[in-house]
Chains A and B, each alone.
Chain A
Amino acid sequence: MFAFRLILASLRGLQTNLMRSLLATLGVIIGVCAVVSAMSILAGAEREIGKRFESMGADQIMIVSGSSGRGHRQARVNALTPEDADTIRDQCPLIRNTAAEFTSAAQIKYLQRNTNAAVLATTDAYKKINDYDVAFGRFISREDNRAARKVCVLGHKIANKLFGEVTPIGFRVKIKGQGFTVIGVMEKKGFLGFREVDSQVMVPLETGMKRLFGVRFVTMITAQATGQEKLEAAIQQVKRTLRGEHKIRAGTDDDFSIFTQEQAKERVADVTKIFEVVLYSIAGISLLVGGIGIMNIMLVSVTERTREIGVRIAVGARRIDIAAQFLIEAAVISMIGGVLGVVVGVAFADLLEKITRVLKTFTPPSAIVYALVMAGCVGIVSGLYPALRASRLNPVEALRYE
């Protein structure tokens, strides 16, 4: 009850100096706003990255050319062939399926409409491994690949861009100037890993490598293990098989590297950690500045109310009552700043998302709690010295103060 009345009294004190109180909160508002928006951006990014990793599949093994074993890449970066994918699938009991792919960009044209798109040359296994199917028509078949047929499957978005509402099965498009027949349109998917698949064009691996781009090596082989718990053993099998296939002698580095969803996650987590530290440092500094602002205002307030403090002591306030009054005032300023800061911070993060259209933000409830607790702590810490000074005033001198 007494504490409640004390809070009421401090609120009234702040109200009489509304403009100054607002200015005092400004530092905290900015600080908390920085904390909240920083946390929102980070949490949003983490969630977004998390989603993409989920779409990658936890049982997948990605194999790319070049060694990353000792921090340097080998000269011979092109090492993986379509045959490697077949060998891995056939010789590793713990691998259920593999899909080799070659990716590049090319111009794709239908009548007068043309656009630049990512071209993915792959095999029929791609669909199964990624759990990504057609909405209309059919996907690339084994037969298409063997015969290197000039057929293509369009991503959801690019189909829309070139053909609008029309279902384009059987229509002919030109990729890099060569005619291709559209055999399917994929379902809406968004992202697979970090690739936006809705905008890509898929062609048979053989067709892409030989007829479109003239290459001998693939960009990546995706291998699907028989189970997530056997991932480590599966990786070892793949390694052994590929080393044998590539005739790598014992003691020399692999000419390929393998990574999984888990490893990629860790690598990204390392990067976000750095961002986290930087963003929190900035937020922490602005909160510190806010705290100094509050301390300044509180010291002015104590000096200004010296006589009042004298009167309060004269009518029976204990030193701790005086200290509590000023401490609560500082905490209230800070908490009000904290609440306003959260509101502004959430709005700011939202605005950022709308303006950039790239950043996805998300304010976790824990961020709000954290920001408010931080604000309260800043208020109490910065109010401590002024409160102590007020409580130590000599009442006789305070009553004489002009």
Chain B
Amino acid sequence: MLISVRQLARVYQMGEHVVRALAGVDLDIQAGEFISIVGASGSGKSTLMHLLGCLDRATSGTYELDGRPVMAMSDRELALVRNKHIGFVFQTFNLINRTSALDNVGIPLFYGRQARVREKAMASLERVGLANRYKHKPSEMSGGERQRVAIARAIVNNPTVIFADEPTGNLDTRTGEQILEIFHDLHQSGVTIVMVTHEMSVAAQARRLVHMTDGLIDADREVTTELRRELVQAGVLGATRVQNEQHLETEGTPS
């Protein structure tokens, strides 16, 4: 088991209020899975992703990553885990604007004190089909290209798992699909992918779908043809598609 979580909880103290962002979650993810976590905003899906991604510490519960207890790790060890085993892709890309695509991709290698940074970063850019744009700065790129640079940065250290937080949220449908295509390819090559989204049409691209409400998992299903049909019938899957396409026609073709 790659990820194994038991009764994971995250409680925030907001002034006098206690917010239970995550109320005790059990979850197992095997190596090589492609899993979506869906839910309304405030359902705790982002909190869960931050905990799984070792960016935040849980208030209680247990978390084993590749058999190692994450809760007991020091800040330094967590940094090392994030550097070597985890890749992040964000909704807003989060690239550093003043440096080139190549330099952005090389950042994890830099903090991993690795040699041959340029070479490895270039290979990573090639994997997302942006080798010819390596010199460009993020501000000179389209949204889709920026997200591909971000993916290249996430995979440059050959991580075991990639966490993607609304990776298509700032992209139009067509570009979003291209990005999802890259995730599929990565999944094919054996990378574990955990994707957080509130769009059912995007979530349904994964092989497994976890639904969260109020800090708890209330559904955990394999994405089968049957489930897809159900979603279309419920008007969730088809409706989003149609909506998006209409939106595109009125707005014109985005860059």
Contacts and interface: CB of A to CB of B under 8 A. Distances in A.
A314 B88 CA distance: 7
B34 interface: no
B84 interface: yes
A315 B54 CA distance: 11
A315 B76 contact: no
A399 B94 contact: yes
A315 B111 CA distance: 8
B88 to A, nearest CB: 5
A5 B94 CA distance: 21
A314 B82 contact: yes
Given A12-B98, A12-B99, A399-B94, A315 B56 contact: no
B53 interface: yes
A16 interface: yes
Nearest to B80: A316
Contacts of B82: 313-316
Nearest to A319: B75
Given A307-B94, A399-B90, A314 B111 contact: no
Contacts, number: 60
B96 A308 contact: yes
A313 B94 contact: no
A317 B112 CA distance: 8
A316 B76 contact: no
Contacts of B99: 12
Interface in B27-65: 50, 53, 55-56
A317 B79 contact: yes
Contacts of B110: 2, 5, 9
A22 to B, nearest CB: 17
A16 B96 CA distance: 12
A318 interface: yes
B5 interface: no
A312 B153 CA distance: 11
A316 B53 contact: no
A184 interface: no
A207 B98 CA distance: 86
* Chain B interface residue bracket vs A: 20 to 34
A311 B56 CA distance: 14
A190 interface: no
B245 to A, nearest CB: 30
B89 to A, nearest CB: 10
A13 interface: yes
Contacts of B197: none
B113 interface: yes
Nearest to A321: B111
B98 A16 contact: yes
A313 B76 contact: no
A315 B107 contact: yes
A351 to B, nearest CB: 38
A16 B100 CA distance: 13
Interface residues of A, number: 24
B147 interface: no
Contacts of B90: 399
B55 A314 contact: yes
B192 interface: no
A9 B110 CA distance: 10
B50 A316 contact: no
Contact of A316 (B56, B84, B96, B98): B84
A69 to B, nearest CB: 72
Contacts of B53: 314
A12 B137 CA distance: 14
A338 interface: no
A5 to B, nearest CB: 6
Interface string B102-117: 0000011011110000
A383 interface: no
A269 interface: no
Contact of A315 (B50, B75, B98, B108): B108
Given A16-B98, A307-B94, A311-B94, A396 B56 contact: yes
Given A318-B76, A318-B79, A2 B108 contact: no
B158 to A, nearest CB: 13
B55 A395 contact: yes
B198 to A, nearest CB: 16
Nearest to A305: B96
A67 to B, nearest CB: 75
Given A16-B98, A314-B82, A396 B76 contact: no
A13 B99 CA distance: 9
B75 A318 contact: yes
Nearest to A400: B46
Interface string A278-318: 00000000000000000000000000000110111111111
Interface in B128-181: 153, 157
Contacts of B75: 318-319
Contacts of A1: 113
B83 interface: yes
Contacts of A318: 75-76, 79, 111
Contacts of B76: 318
Contacts of B80: 316
Given A12-B98, A316-B157, 5 more contacts: A308-B96, A311-B107, A314-B94, A315-B83, A318-B75
The 5 closest A-B pairs by CB, nearest first: A316-B83, A16-B98, A315-B108, A318-B79, A316-B111
21 contacts: A2-B110, A2-B113, A9-B110, A12-B99, A308-B96, A310-B94, A311-B95, A313-B79, A313-B82, A314-B53, A315-B107, A315-B153, A316-B80, A316-B83, A318-B75, A319-B79, A321-B111, A395-B55, A396-B56, A399-B90, A399-B94
Interface of A: 1-2, 5, 9, 12-13, 16, 307-308, 310-319, 321, 394-396, 399
